[in-house]
Structure 1
Amino acid sequence: MFIVLIRTIILYLIVIASMRLMGKKQIGELEPFELAIAIMVSELASLPMQDTRIPIMHGIIPIITLLALQTIVSLLELKSEKARIFFSGKPSIVIKDGKLNIKELRKERFNLNDLMEELRLQGYYNIEDIHYAILETSGQLSVMPKTELSNVTKADLNIKSQQESLPVTLILDGRINYDNLKIIDKDEQWLNKQLRKNNISSPKNIFIALLDSKGKFYHQSKPQK
Protein backbone atom coordinates (compact mmCIF):
# COMPACT_ATOMS: atom_id res chain seq x y z
CA MET A 1 0.00 0.00 0.00
CA PHE A 2 2.82 2.37 0.91
CA ILE A 3 4.59 1.59 -2.40
CA VAL A 4 1.44 2.47 -4.38
CA LEU A 5 1.20 5.76 -2.49
CA ILE A 6 4.81 6.69 -3.24
CA ARG A 7 4.49 5.71 -6.93
CA THR A 8 1.33 7.81 -7.25
CA ILE A 9 2.99 10.86 -5.68
CA ILE A 10 6.05 10.56 -7.94
CA LEU A 11 3.97 10.19 -11.12
CA TYR A 12 1.65 13.00 -10.06
CA LEU A 13 4.58 15.39 -9.61
CA ILE A 14 6.08 14.37 -12.96
CA VAL A 15 2.77 14.92 -14.78
CA ILE A 16 2.30 18.33 -13.14
CA ALA A 17 5.87 19.33 -14.06
CA SER A 18 5.32 18.15 -17.64
CA MET A 19 2.10 20.12 -18.04
CA ARG A 20 3.76 23.24 -16.60
CA LEU A 21 6.64 22.90 -19.06
CA MET A 22 4.16 22.60 -21.92
CA GLY A 23 3.11 26.19 -21.27
CA LYS A 24 0.22 28.17 -19.81
CA LYS A 25 -2.80 27.12 -21.84
CA GLN A 26 -6.29 26.08 -20.84
CA ILE A 27 -7.49 22.67 -22.04
CA GLY A 28 -9.90 24.34 -24.48
CA GLU A 29 -7.03 26.33 -26.00
CA LEU A 30 -4.61 23.45 -26.62
CA GLU A 31 -3.50 22.81 -30.17
CA PRO A 32 -4.34 19.31 -31.54
CA PHE A 33 -0.83 17.90 -30.97
CA GLU A 34 -0.73 19.39 -27.44
CA LEU A 35 -4.08 17.84 -26.56
CA ALA A 36 -2.90 14.46 -27.88
CA ILE A 37 0.22 14.66 -25.70
CA ALA A 38 -1.82 15.66 -22.64
CA ILE A 39 -4.11 12.63 -23.08
CA MET A 40 -1.19 10.26 -23.64
CA VAL A 41 0.67 11.58 -20.58
CA SER A 42 -2.36 10.96 -18.36
CA GLU A 43 -2.74 7.43 -19.71
CA LEU A 44 0.96 6.63 -19.27
CA ALA A 45 0.88 7.88 -15.69
CA SER A 46 -2.26 5.94 -14.76
CA LEU A 47 -0.90 2.50 -15.77
CA PRO A 48 2.02 2.31 -13.26
CA MET A 49 -0.32 3.71 -10.59
CA GLN A 50 -2.83 0.90 -11.04
CA ASP A 51 -0.43 -2.00 -11.63
CA THR A 52 2.58 -2.25 -9.31
CA ARG A 53 4.04 -5.01 -11.52
CA ILE A 54 4.85 -2.35 -14.13
CA PRO A 55 8.18 -0.66 -13.31
CA ILE A 56 7.67 3.02 -12.56
CA MET A 57 10.35 3.92 -15.11
CA HIS A 58 8.10 2.47 -17.82
CA GLY A 59 5.80 5.38 -17.09
CA ILE A 60 8.40 8.08 -16.45
CA ILE A 61 10.50 7.50 -19.60
CA PRO A 62 7.57 7.77 -22.09
CA ILE A 63 6.30 10.91 -20.32
CA ILE A 64 9.71 12.57 -20.60
CA THR A 65 9.93 11.43 -24.24
CA LEU A 66 6.55 13.02 -25.04
CA LEU A 67 7.62 16.20 -23.29
CA ALA A 68 10.76 16.30 -25.43
CA LEU A 69 8.67 15.73 -28.58
CA GLN A 70 6.33 18.56 -27.58
CA THR A 71 9.30 20.88 -27.11
CA ILE A 72 10.75 19.92 -30.50
CA VAL A 73 7.39 20.42 -32.25
CA SER A 74 6.97 23.84 -30.57
CA LEU A 75 10.42 24.88 -31.82
CA LEU A 76 9.60 23.65 -35.31
CA GLU A 77 6.40 25.68 -35.30
CA LEU A 78 8.38 28.78 -34.33
CA LYS A 79 10.83 28.27 -37.18
CA SER A 80 8.62 26.94 -39.98
CA GLU A 81 5.25 28.04 -41.29
CA LYS A 82 4.77 24.66 -42.99
CA ALA A 83 5.38 22.82 -39.70
CA ARG A 84 2.89 25.10 -37.96
CA ILE A 85 0.23 24.34 -40.55
CA PHE A 86 0.98 20.59 -40.46
CA PHE A 87 0.76 20.24 -36.67
CA SER A 88 -1.81 22.92 -35.81
CA GLY A 89 -3.72 23.59 -39.00
CA LYS A 90 -4.95 26.97 -40.25
CA PRO A 91 -7.72 29.26 -38.99
CA SER A 92 -10.95 29.05 -40.99
CA ILE A 93 -13.21 31.97 -41.91
CA VAL A 94 -16.75 30.71 -41.25
CA ILE A 95 -18.55 34.07 -41.64
CA LYS A 96 -17.58 36.88 -44.01
CA ASP A 97 -19.57 40.11 -44.45
CA GLY A 98 -22.63 38.64 -42.74
CA LYS A 99 -22.69 35.47 -44.86
CA LEU A 100 -21.90 31.92 -43.82
CA ASN A 101 -19.02 30.11 -45.48
CA ILE A 102 -20.81 26.78 -45.89
CA LYS A 103 -17.78 25.12 -47.50
CA GLU A 104 -15.58 25.84 -44.47
CA LEU A 105 -18.31 24.83 -42.01
CA ARG A 106 -18.62 21.45 -43.73
CA LYS A 107 -14.85 21.04 -43.92
CA GLU A 108 -14.46 21.68 -40.18
CA ARG A 109 -17.65 19.73 -39.35
CA PHE A 110 -18.89 22.75 -37.43
CA ASN A 111 -22.68 22.72 -37.35
CA LEU A 112 -24.92 25.80 -37.26
CA ASN A 113 -26.19 25.14 -33.74
CA ASP A 114 -22.65 25.20 -32.36
CA LEU A 115 -21.84 28.31 -34.37
CA MET A 116 -24.91 30.19 -33.13
CA GLU A 117 -24.13 29.15 -29.57
CA GLU A 118 -20.58 30.51 -29.83
CA LEU A 119 -21.90 33.78 -31.27
CA ARG A 120 -24.46 34.16 -28.47
CA LEU A 121 -21.79 33.52 -25.83
CA GLN A 122 -19.86 36.47 -27.26
CA GLY A 123 -22.93 38.71 -27.30
CA TYR A 124 -23.88 38.47 -30.99
CA TYR A 125 -27.28 37.21 -32.10
CA ASN A 126 -27.51 38.10 -35.80
CA ILE A 127 -25.24 36.65 -38.45
CA GLU A 128 -25.60 39.77 -40.62
CA ASP A 129 -24.02 41.84 -37.83
CA ILE A 130 -20.74 39.92 -38.19
CA HIS A 131 -17.96 41.15 -40.47
CA TYR A 132 -15.68 38.18 -39.82
CA ALA A 133 -15.97 35.07 -37.67
CA ILE A 134 -12.82 32.96 -37.59
CA LEU A 135 -12.54 29.43 -36.21
CA GLU A 136 -9.07 29.35 -34.66
CA THR A 137 -6.79 26.30 -34.62
CA SER A 138 -7.52 25.87 -30.89
CA GLY A 139 -11.26 25.54 -31.60
CA GLN A 140 -12.09 29.01 -30.26
CA LEU A 141 -14.25 31.37 -32.33
CA SER A 142 -12.96 34.92 -32.92
CA VAL A 143 -15.63 37.45 -33.91
CA MET A 144 -15.20 40.85 -35.58
CA PRO A 145 -18.47 42.79 -35.78
CA LYS A 146 -19.21 45.29 -38.51
CA THR A 147 -17.68 48.69 -37.73
CA GLU A 148 -20.97 50.50 -37.26
CA LEU A 149 -22.05 47.88 -34.72
CA SER A 150 -18.83 47.76 -32.68
CA ASN A 151 -18.73 49.21 -29.16
CA VAL A 152 -17.91 52.88 -28.74
CA THR A 153 -14.64 53.54 -26.90
CA LYS A 154 -13.46 56.54 -24.88
CA ALA A 155 -11.03 57.32 -27.68
CA ASP A 156 -13.94 57.55 -30.14
CA LEU A 157 -15.56 60.16 -27.87
CA ASN A 158 -12.26 61.98 -27.22
CA ILE A 159 -12.55 61.30 -23.49
CA LYS A 160 -9.20 61.48 -21.73
CA SER A 161 -8.65 58.76 -19.16
CA GLN A 162 -5.77 57.46 -17.07
CA GLN A 163 -4.38 54.02 -17.83
CA GLU A 164 -5.40 51.55 -15.12
CA SER A 165 -2.81 49.20 -13.64
CA LEU A 166 -2.90 45.67 -12.26
CA PRO A 167 -4.18 45.28 -8.67
CA VAL A 168 -1.38 44.58 -6.18
CA THR A 169 -2.02 42.37 -3.14
CA LEU A 170 -0.48 43.81 0.03
CA ILE A 171 -1.94 41.63 2.80
CA LEU A 172 -3.33 38.15 2.41
CA ASP A 173 -4.79 36.27 5.37
CA GLY A 174 -3.00 38.49 7.88
CA ARG A 175 0.42 38.31 6.21
CA ILE A 176 2.13 41.28 4.60
CA ASN A 177 3.56 40.78 1.12
CA TYR A 178 6.81 42.76 1.36
CA ASP A 179 7.79 41.96 -2.25
CA ASN A 180 4.64 43.65 -3.55
CA LEU A 181 5.28 46.65 -1.31
CA LYS A 182 8.65 47.06 -3.03
CA ILE A 183 6.98 46.79 -6.46
CA ILE A 184 4.77 49.81 -5.70
CA ASP A 185 7.71 51.60 -4.02
CA LYS A 186 6.07 51.64 -0.57
CA ASP A 187 7.15 50.39 2.86
CA GLU A 188 5.52 48.87 5.95
CA GLN A 189 5.21 52.30 7.55
CA TRP A 190 3.04 53.48 4.63
CA LEU A 191 0.93 50.33 4.92
CA ASN A 192 0.38 50.81 8.66
CA LYS A 193 -0.69 54.39 7.96
CA GLN A 194 -3.32 53.10 5.52
CA LEU A 195 -4.55 50.64 8.13
CA ARG A 196 -4.86 53.35 10.79
CA LYS A 197 -6.88 55.49 8.37
CA ASN A 198 -9.34 52.61 8.16
CA ASN A 199 -9.37 52.01 11.96
CA ILE A 200 -7.50 48.71 11.71
CA SER A 201 -5.18 47.94 14.59
CA SER A 202 -3.12 45.12 13.04
CA PRO A 203 -2.49 43.46 9.66
CA LYS A 204 -3.39 40.16 11.34
CA ASN A 205 -7.03 41.30 11.38
CA ILE A 206 -7.06 41.67 7.56
CA PHE A 207 -8.19 38.88 5.25
CA ILE A 208 -7.13 40.78 2.14
CA ALA A 209 -5.78 44.25 1.40
CA LEU A 210 -4.67 45.54 -1.99
CA LEU A 211 -4.21 48.51 -4.24
CA ASP A 212 -6.88 48.19 -6.91
CA SER A 213 -6.45 49.06 -10.58
CA LYS A 214 -7.27 52.72 -9.84
CA GLY A 215 -4.68 53.00 -7.06
CA LYS A 216 -7.28 52.91 -4.28
CA PHE A 217 -6.59 51.03 -1.05
CA TYR A 218 -9.10 48.19 -0.64
CA HIS A 219 -9.39 45.89 2.36
CA GLN A 220 -11.64 43.28 3.91
CA SER A 221 -11.34 42.18 7.52
CA LYS A 222 -11.36 38.59 8.71
CA PRO A 223 -14.74 37.31 9.87
CA GLN A 224 -15.29 37.41 13.60
CA LYS A 225 -14.97 34.06 15.32
Structure 2
Amino acid sequence: MIWEYVYRTTFVYFLVLVVIRMMGKREIGQLSPFDFVVAIIIAELAAIPMEASEIPLWHSVLPLVILGALEVLVSYVTLFSRKLRGFICGYPQVIIKNGFLLRDEMRKARYNLDDLMAQMRDKGIVDLDDVEFAVLETSGRLSVILKSQHRPVTPADLGISTPYEGLPTVLVMDGNIMNNNLKEVNLDENWLREKLEERGFSPRKVLLATLGTDGRLFVNRK
Protein backbone atom coordinates (compact mmCIF):
# COMPACT_ATOMS: atom_id res chain seq x y z
CA MET A 1 0.00 0.00 0.00
CA ILE A 2 2.75 2.43 0.96
CA TRP A 3 4.57 1.77 -2.31
CA GLU A 4 1.47 2.78 -4.23
CA TYR A 5 1.50 6.18 -2.52
CA VAL A 6 5.21 6.52 -3.24
CA TYR A 7 4.62 5.68 -6.89
CA ARG A 8 1.64 8.03 -7.23
CA THR A 9 3.41 10.93 -5.50
CA THR A 10 6.56 10.49 -7.59
CA PHE A 11 4.62 10.22 -10.84
CA VAL A 12 2.44 13.27 -10.12
CA TYR A 13 5.48 15.26 -8.98
CA PHE A 14 7.30 14.80 -12.27
CA LEU A 15 4.11 15.29 -14.29
CA VAL A 16 3.37 18.62 -12.58
CA LEU A 17 7.02 19.62 -13.03
CA VAL A 18 6.70 19.03 -16.79
CA VAL A 19 3.43 20.97 -16.97
CA ILE A 20 4.88 23.93 -15.03
CA ARG A 21 7.95 23.96 -17.28
CA MET A 22 5.60 24.12 -20.26
CA MET A 23 4.17 27.35 -18.84
CA GLY A 24 7.45 29.15 -19.51
CA LYS A 25 9.99 31.08 -17.47
CA ARG A 26 7.80 33.70 -15.90
CA GLU A 27 8.09 34.44 -12.23
CA ILE A 28 5.09 33.77 -10.00
CA GLY A 29 4.55 37.51 -9.56
CA GLN A 30 4.44 37.91 -13.33
CA LEU A 31 1.72 35.34 -13.97
CA SER A 32 -1.36 36.55 -15.79
CA PRO A 33 -4.78 35.88 -14.22
CA PHE A 34 -5.17 32.93 -16.61
CA ASP A 35 -1.80 31.49 -15.57
CA PHE A 36 -2.67 31.97 -11.91
CA VAL A 37 -5.99 30.15 -12.27
CA VAL A 38 -4.29 27.30 -14.14
CA ALA A 39 -1.66 27.02 -11.39
CA ILE A 40 -4.38 26.74 -8.72
CA ILE A 41 -6.27 24.07 -10.68
CA ILE A 42 -3.04 22.13 -11.27
CA ALA A 43 -2.32 22.13 -7.54
CA GLU A 44 -5.81 20.82 -6.80
CA LEU A 45 -5.70 18.14 -9.48
CA ALA A 46 -2.24 17.01 -8.41
CA ALA A 47 -3.37 16.50 -4.81
CA ILE A 48 -6.31 14.22 -5.69
CA PRO A 49 -4.42 11.09 -6.88
CA MET A 50 -1.87 11.41 -4.06
CA GLU A 51 -4.56 11.41 -1.37
CA ALA A 52 -7.11 9.00 -2.86
CA SER A 53 -5.54 5.74 -3.99
CA GLU A 54 -8.91 4.40 -5.16
CA ILE A 55 -9.06 7.03 -7.93
CA PRO A 56 -7.30 5.95 -11.15
CA LEU A 57 -4.25 8.05 -11.98
CA TRP A 58 -5.51 8.93 -15.44
CA HIS A 59 -8.48 10.78 -13.89
CA SER A 60 -6.00 13.48 -12.88
CA VAL A 61 -3.33 12.93 -15.50
CA LEU A 62 -5.66 13.71 -18.41
CA PRO A 63 -6.92 17.05 -16.98
CA LEU A 64 -3.34 18.04 -16.11
CA VAL A 65 -2.15 17.35 -19.65
CA ILE A 66 -5.14 19.22 -21.12
CA LEU A 67 -4.48 22.23 -18.87
CA GLY A 68 -0.81 22.24 -19.85
CA ALA A 69 -1.67 22.08 -23.55
CA LEU A 70 -4.30 24.82 -23.14
CA GLU A 71 -1.77 27.02 -21.35
CA VAL A 72 0.78 26.60 -24.13
CA LEU A 73 -1.89 27.27 -26.80
CA VAL A 74 -3.11 30.46 -25.13
CA SER A 75 0.47 31.64 -24.61
CA TYR A 76 1.19 31.26 -28.33
CA VAL A 77 -2.06 32.94 -29.38
CA THR A 78 -1.42 35.93 -27.13
CA LEU A 79 1.96 36.41 -28.80
CA PHE A 80 0.15 37.45 -32.00
CA SER A 81 -3.09 38.97 -30.69
CA ARG A 82 -2.81 42.13 -28.61
CA LYS A 83 -6.57 42.22 -27.98
CA LEU A 84 -6.57 38.70 -26.56
CA ARG A 85 -3.43 39.49 -24.57
CA GLY A 86 -5.15 42.54 -23.12
CA PHE A 87 -8.28 40.54 -22.29
CA ILE A 88 -6.33 37.80 -20.50
CA CYS A 89 -3.43 39.75 -19.01
CA GLY A 90 -4.86 43.26 -18.86
CA TYR A 91 -3.02 46.48 -19.68
CA PRO A 92 -0.51 48.56 -17.71
CA GLN A 93 -2.07 51.56 -15.97
CA VAL A 94 -0.37 54.90 -15.35
CA ILE A 95 -0.87 55.75 -11.68
CA ILE A 96 1.32 58.85 -11.54
CA LYS A 97 1.78 61.11 -14.55
CA ASN A 98 3.96 64.22 -14.60
CA GLY A 99 4.15 64.05 -10.83
CA PHE A 100 0.36 63.92 -10.24
CA LEU A 101 -1.69 61.03 -8.89
CA LEU A 102 -4.38 59.77 -11.26
CA ARG A 103 -7.21 58.83 -8.92
CA ASP A 104 -9.48 57.55 -11.70
CA GLU A 105 -6.88 55.03 -12.81
CA MET A 106 -6.31 53.95 -9.23
CA ARG A 107 -10.04 53.36 -8.79
CA LYS A 108 -10.20 51.30 -11.99
CA ALA A 109 -7.37 49.12 -10.71
CA ARG A 110 -8.79 49.10 -7.15
CA TYR A 111 -5.35 50.25 -6.09
CA ASN A 112 -5.31 52.26 -2.86
CA LEU A 113 -2.84 54.74 -1.45
CA ASP A 114 -1.53 52.28 1.14
CA ASP A 115 -0.58 49.87 -1.67
CA LEU A 116 1.10 52.71 -3.54
CA MET A 117 3.11 53.91 -0.54
CA ALA A 118 4.13 50.34 0.33
CA GLN A 119 5.48 49.67 -3.17
CA MET A 120 7.21 53.05 -3.20
CA ARG A 121 8.98 52.27 0.07
CA ASP A 122 9.94 48.87 -1.32
CA LYS A 123 11.80 50.75 -4.07
CA GLY A 124 13.47 53.09 -1.58
CA ILE A 125 11.27 56.08 -2.49
CA VAL A 126 9.74 58.00 0.43
CA ASP A 127 8.66 61.22 -1.28
CA LEU A 128 6.04 61.08 -4.05
CA ASP A 129 7.24 64.47 -5.20
CA ASP A 130 10.37 62.74 -6.56
CA VAL A 131 8.29 60.63 -8.98
CA GLU A 132 7.66 61.63 -12.60
CA PHE A 133 5.78 58.51 -13.74
CA ALA A 134 4.54 55.37 -12.02
CA VAL A 135 3.00 52.50 -13.98
CA LEU A 136 1.07 49.61 -12.46
CA GLU A 137 2.10 46.63 -14.55
CA THR A 138 -0.16 43.71 -15.44
CA SER A 139 1.71 41.58 -12.88
CA GLY A 140 0.71 43.99 -10.10
CA ARG A 141 4.22 45.40 -9.76
CA LEU A 142 4.86 49.12 -9.83
CA SER A 143 7.39 50.60 -12.27
CA VAL A 144 8.67 54.01 -11.22
CA ILE A 145 10.51 56.69 -13.20
CA LEU A 146 12.00 59.42 -11.03
CA LYS A 147 12.19 63.06 -11.99
CA SER A 148 15.45 63.87 -13.75
CA GLN A 149 16.82 65.86 -10.81
CA HIS A 150 16.37 62.86 -8.50
CA ARG A 151 17.89 60.17 -10.72
CA PRO A 152 21.42 58.89 -10.01
CA VAL A 153 24.14 60.58 -12.05
CA THR A 154 25.48 58.39 -14.87
CA PRO A 155 28.73 58.61 -16.87
CA ALA A 156 26.64 59.82 -19.82
CA ASP A 157 25.41 62.78 -17.74
CA LEU A 158 29.05 63.73 -17.08
CA GLY A 159 30.13 63.15 -20.67
CA ILE A 160 32.45 60.29 -19.66
CA SER A 161 32.96 57.43 -22.11
CA THR A 162 33.10 53.94 -20.65
CA PRO A 163 34.44 50.70 -22.16
CA TYR A 164 32.22 47.76 -23.05
CA GLU A 165 31.75 45.49 -20.04
CA GLY A 166 29.45 42.66 -21.08
CA LEU A 167 29.06 39.49 -19.09
CA PRO A 168 31.86 37.18 -17.93
CA THR A 169 32.05 33.77 -19.60
CA VAL A 170 31.82 30.75 -17.30
CA LEU A 171 34.68 28.38 -18.10
CA VAL A 172 34.50 25.98 -15.15
CA MET A 173 31.50 25.21 -12.96
CA ASP A 174 31.51 22.67 -10.14
CA GLY A 175 34.74 21.17 -11.47
CA ASN A 176 33.36 20.70 -15.00
CA ILE A 177 34.92 22.46 -17.98
CA MET A 178 32.35 24.31 -20.10
CA ASN A 179 33.69 23.46 -23.56
CA ASN A 180 30.91 25.24 -25.44
CA ASN A 181 31.70 28.47 -23.60
CA LEU A 182 35.40 28.07 -24.40
CA LYS A 183 34.57 27.82 -28.09
CA GLU A 184 32.48 30.99 -27.93
CA VAL A 185 35.53 32.98 -26.77
CA ASN A 186 37.86 31.22 -29.24
CA LEU A 187 39.81 29.35 -26.55
CA ASP A 188 40.44 25.68 -25.91
CA GLU A 189 40.78 23.32 -22.97
CA ASN A 190 44.59 23.29 -23.12
CA TRP A 191 44.70 27.07 -22.62
CA LEU A 192 42.40 26.80 -19.64
CA ARG A 193 44.36 24.00 -18.01
CA GLU A 194 47.61 25.97 -18.41
CA LYS A 195 46.08 29.04 -16.78
CA LEU A 196 44.72 26.99 -13.92
CA GLU A 197 48.02 25.17 -13.40
CA GLU A 198 49.78 28.54 -13.13
CA ARG A 199 47.60 29.17 -10.08
CA GLY A 200 48.07 25.67 -8.71
CA PHE A 201 44.62 24.37 -9.62
CA SER A 202 43.15 21.55 -11.64
CA PRO A 203 39.64 21.85 -13.07
CA ARG A 204 38.33 19.33 -10.53
CA LYS A 205 39.36 21.61 -7.67
CA VAL A 206 37.66 24.69 -9.13
CA LEU A 207 34.17 25.67 -8.01
CA LEU A 208 33.84 28.49 -10.51
CA ALA A 209 36.12 30.05 -13.11
CA THR A 210 35.03 32.93 -15.32
CA LEU A 211 36.70 35.04 -18.00
CA GLY A 212 35.83 38.72 -18.08
CA THR A 213 35.56 40.73 -21.29
CA ASP A 214 38.74 42.51 -20.19
CA GLY A 215 40.65 39.19 -20.24
CA ARG A 216 40.85 38.70 -16.48
CA LEU A 217 40.41 35.16 -15.23
CA PHE A 218 38.52 34.72 -11.97
CA VAL A 219 39.03 31.40 -10.14
CA ASN A 220 37.30 30.23 -6.98
CA ARG A 221 38.42 26.91 -5.53
CA LYS A 222 36.04 24.35 -4.02
2:194 aligned partner, one-letter code: K
Following superposition, the deviation at residue 173 of structure 1 comes to 2.7
1:110-158 deviations in Å (ceiling 9; x for gaps) = 2222211211222322111111101011111111112232222222222
Question: 2:160 aligns to what?
Answer: 159
Question: 1:204 aligns to what?
Answer: 204
Is the 1:165–1:214 contact (alpha carbons within 8 Å) kept by the matching residues of 2?
no
Higher mean alpha-carbon deviation, 138-147 vs 212-221, is at 212-221
Q: Partners in 1 of 2:183 and 2:211 — Cα distance?
A: 13
Q: Partners in 1 of 2:126 and 2:53 — Cα distance?
A: 54
Higher mean alpha-carbon deviation, 102-111 vs 181-190, is at 102-111
4+ aligned runs moved over 6 Å, structure 1: none
Q: Partners in 1 of 2:137 and 2:195 — Cα distance?
A: 47
Following superposition, the deviation at residue 47 of structure 1 comes to 0.7
Q: TM-score, normalised by structure 1?
A: 0.90
- Classify the secondary structure of the residue corresponding to 1:93: strand
Q: Partners in 1 of 2:180 and 2:140 — Cα distance?
A: 39
1:221 aligned partner, one-letter code: R
Question: 1:178 aligns to what?
Answer: 179
Following superposition, the deviation at residue 162 of structure 1 comes to 1.9
Following superposition, the deviation at residue 99 of structure 1 comes to 1.8
Following superposition, the deviation at residue 167 of structure 1 comes to 2.2
- Classify the secondary structure of the residue corresponding to 2:156: coil
Gapped regions of structure 1 (runs ≥ 5): none
Q: Partners in 2 of 1:55 and 1:48 — Cα distance?
A: 7
- Classify the secondary structure of the residue corresponding to 2:219: strand
Following superposition, the deviation at residue 85 of structure 1 comes to 1.8
CA change 1:120–1:187 in 2 (3 A) is same
Question: 2:78 aligns to what?
Answer: 77
Q: Pairwise CA RMSD of aligned residues? A: 1.7
Question: 1:217 aligns to what?
Answer: 217
Q: Partners in 2 of 1:207 and 1:141 — Cα distance?
A: 38
Question: 1:100 aligns to what?
Answer: 101
Following superposition, the deviation at residue 217 of structure 1 comes to 0.7
Is the 1:97–1:128 contact (alpha carbons within 8 Å) kept by the matching residues of 2?
no
Q: Partners in 1 of 2:189 and 2:80 — Cα distance?
A: 48
Higher mean alpha-carbon deviation, 187-196 vs 125-134, is at 187-196
Following superposition, the deviation at residue 66 of structure 1 comes to 1.1
1:51-96 deviations in Å (ceiling 9; x for gaps) = 1111111111111111222223223322322212211111111111
CA change 1:37–1:215 in 2 (3 A) is farther
Gapped regions of structure 2 (runs ≥ 5): none
CA change 1:69–1:201 in 2 (3 A) is closer
2:152 aligned partner, one-letter code: N
Q: Partners in 2 of 1:34 and 1:3 — Cα distance?
A: 31
Q: TM-score, normalised by structure 2?
A: 0.91
- Classify the secondary structure of the residue corresponding to 2:145: strand
Q: Partners in 2 of 1:108 and 1:179 — Cα distance?
A: 47
Q: Partners in 1 of 2:85 and 2:13 — Cα distance?
A: 30
CA change 1:195–1:150 in 2 (3 A) is same
1:92 aligned partner, one-letter code: Q
- Classify the secondary structure of the residue corresponding to 2:95: strand
Does residue 192 in structure 1 map to residue 157 in structure 2?
no
Trace 1:66-145 onto structure 2 (pairs within 5 A): 66-145=67-146
Sequence identity percentage: 40
Higher mean alpha-carbon deviation, 111-120 vs 126-135, is at 111-120
Following superposition, the deviation at residue 214 of structure 1 comes to 4.4
Question: 2:42 aligns to what?
Answer: 41
